[in-house]
Amino acid sequence: MTQELTSPSPAPQAPGSGRGPGWWRDAVIYQVYVRSFADSDGDGIGDLRGVRERLPHLKDLGVDAVWLTPFYASPQADGGYDVADYRAVDPLFGTLQDADDLLRTAHDLGLRVIVDIVPNHTSDRHPWFTDPELARQRYLFRPGKGENGELPPNDWESIFGGPAWTRTDRGDWYLHLFAPQQPDLNWENPEVHAEFEAILRFWLDLGVDGFRVDVAHGMIKAPGLPDIGHGAQAQLIGSQVLPFFDQDGVHAIHRAWRRLLDGYGDGSGRQVIGVAEAWAPTPERLALYVRPDELHQAFNFQFLNAPWQADALRTVIEASLAATASVGAPTTWVLSNHDVVRHTTRLGGSLARARAASLLMLALPGSAYLYQGEELGLPEVTDLPDEVRQDPAFFRGGRATGAAGPGTDTEAAPDGVAAASGQDGFRDGCRVPLPWSGEAPPYGFGPGGSWLPQPADWAPLTVAAQTGDPASTLELYRAALELRRRLPGLGDGPMSWAPAPDGVLAFTRPGVLCTVNTLGHDVELPAPGTPLLSSAPVTVQDSAARLPGDSCTWWAI
């Protein structure tokens, strides 16, 4: 490591939008799925240099921060969520120097950077797991049931399908809530705590501005690892506390991490954050992760899972705001990520709805997470051939369409694995590399090909094709983020509902009113103000506004 690496570049001085006590409270944070964002070296796989070169796109887009998915040394059994060395960059993605350069460039551009931390499990190639003695202390090994220990120790299932246990050559079994290559750590062992605190410090010393905590609800298991008792685990995840998810014991870990993060807040005003990827059965239980002495944010998957229906959206929005308000935290909104079907496709294959949903999200109080490509209105790719698949859920869940195990209904699966009607239920379709420019694949993704094939009809969706076209989704996002920065009433702060006809939502923020028509047809209502921005052309005549079907409009009031 060079000397340079040890002195972190300063985080941007101004808080995300210049408002409020914490930059994260109203930040718009853009998720970069590193292997699919931009490829600098032509191997068809996105890398850190590619991200760095494309940071100006994110600056122009107007986001406040970037979240990078894991780029650590990994056999890539689960897209890098199987980490073999938490302090090294996988050669696929570059070097530690590239990570440092990326941080510096981002900070120079005024962008903060959050990295992923994966504490529930490591790779089975991690040196702790490959050493049988260490492994026994630091992972969850148990004897099997049955006469010769030939049955798994309990009835838990892997989120990716099949039993959550794998038998070793020695005859005992180890727990893996995800793929067999992702053994669960034993968080009863203080060495595990110490190691993760050291890893957090390593990245904080390099200058990162926070962590997205993977499976933040999973580290602690119920004592004795009890059976669930019936075979419907996939349906139970996210709807009730299970012996392996959302156990109260996880909060002690988050409290310790918060103390560590706060310790990095110094006189310079540096504020580093933790955001929980936590699946909790209710907004109230989710709010426990963002109590003042725990993490700063938690993804609000209830919003992501809500159907495109005015009453349902209102219910979720109210419940989310009430729950986080009860602990003084901001609400965090998200519509798409690398684990779920892209919202353009999920919301009925309707770009109009997707654009409306995005404007709705960006008008709500709190912070919003964008997933790369949603600013281009990218759809899910639903016709990937089997031979290019990489999602471990695809291989463990069987090859039949929709047989991923969890969540084969019309909504995104609550465990974070994609599922939706008419789509295949696996996660490669939202991970297809981004189209940047040009008429044919790889659309400027890099000098080589792309690790997943891009559709032949994406030329009109590239960043270059959409730039400057006021009707494009990219320009809609740019305009929305620009207004969000400029109007003090957006972002964190008060919101109240306004009267609206059935199927329409209306709410006010200071100086702004937002209408959302969830119906498939136009709705007329008295014009609430002057249109500022709309996801579809809105007309105002003689004080009457005509809201197009599936649209969202921001009005100056």
Would you tell me which residues interact with ligand GLC (CB under 6 A)? 78, 81, 118, 178, 214-215, 277, 338-339, 416
Query: CA 464 from chain center: how many Å?
Result: 25
Least separation in angstroms between CB 212 and ligand GLC: 9
Q: 87-105 burial by CB neighbour count: b if 16+ within 10 A, else e?
A: eebbebbbbeebbbbbbbb
- Between 37 and 436, whose beta carbon lies closer to ligand GLC? 37
Contact call for residues 393 and 160 (beta carbons, < 8 A): yes
CB atoms within 10 A of CB 20: 16
Nearer to ligand GLC, 33 or 443 (CB): 33
Nearer to ligand GLC, 29 or 533 (CB): 29
Q: Which is nearer to ligand GLC, 64 or 78 (CB)?
A: 78
Residue that has been written with the tokens 């009109």 in this structure:
460
* Beta carbons of 465 and 371 less than 8 angstroms apart: no
Which pair of tokens denotes residue 89? 């960059």
For residue 409 the two structure tokens come to 């209904």
CB 73 to ligand GLC: min, Å: 15
* C-beta neighbour count of 379 within 10 angstroms: 24
| CB of 384 or CB of 536, closer to ligand GLC | 384
- 143: buried, middle or exposed (CB in 10 Å: 19+, 13-18, 0-12)? exposed
Q: Which residues pair with 486 in a beta bridge?
A: none
Kindly state the smallest distance separating residue 291's Cβ from ligand GLC, in Å. 22
d(CA 214, CA 298): 11
Calpha distance 551→508 (Å, rounded): 17
> Count H helices, E strands: the chain?
15, 21
Shortest distance, position 542 Cβ to ligand GLC, whole Å? 50
Q: Which amino acid is at 322?
A: A
HEC letters along 450-508? CCCCCCCCCHHHCHHHHCCCCCCHHHHHHHHHHHHHHCCCCCCCCCEECCCCCCEEEEE
4 part of the active site: no
Between 118 and 404, name the residue whose CB sits nearer to ligand GLC. Answer: 118
Which residue is closest to ligand GLC by CB? Answer: 81
Q: Give the chain's radius of gyration (CA, Å).
A: 23
Least gap, CB of 85 to ligand GLC (angstroms): 16
Report whether 488 contacts 462 (CB < 8 A): no
Q: Which of 100, 277, 415, 428 is labelled catalytic?
A: 277
Residues 6+ apart with CB under 8 A from 464: 436, 437, 438, 444
Residue 88, φ and ψ in degrees, nearest 5: -125, 150
CB of 513 to ligand GLC, least distance (A): 35
Residue whose CB is less far from ligand GLC, 32 or 215: 215
Q: E strand or H helix at 369, and its extent?
A: strand 367-371
Residue 405 Cβ vs ligand GLC, minimum distance, rounded to whole Å = 13
50 phi/psi in degrees, rounded to 5: -60, -45
Active-site residue, 214 included: yes
Which DSSP string do the residues of 256-311 spell out, in sequence order? HHHHHHHHT--TT----EEEE----SSHHHHHGGGSTTS-SEE--HHHHH--S-HH
Smallest distance from the beta carbon of 123 to ligand GLC, in angstroms? 10
Catalytic residue among 39, 90, 124, 214: 214
Q: For residues 122 and 472, which CB has a smaller minimum distance to ligand GLC in the complex?
A: 122
CA angle 455, 461, 466 (to 5 degrees): 165
Integer Cα distance of 373 and 435 in angstroms: 8
Collapsed DSSP state (helix, strand, coil) of residue 99? helix
User: Closest approach of Cβ 218 to ligand GLC, in Å?
Assistant: 8
Which residues participate in catalysis according to the annotation? 214, 277
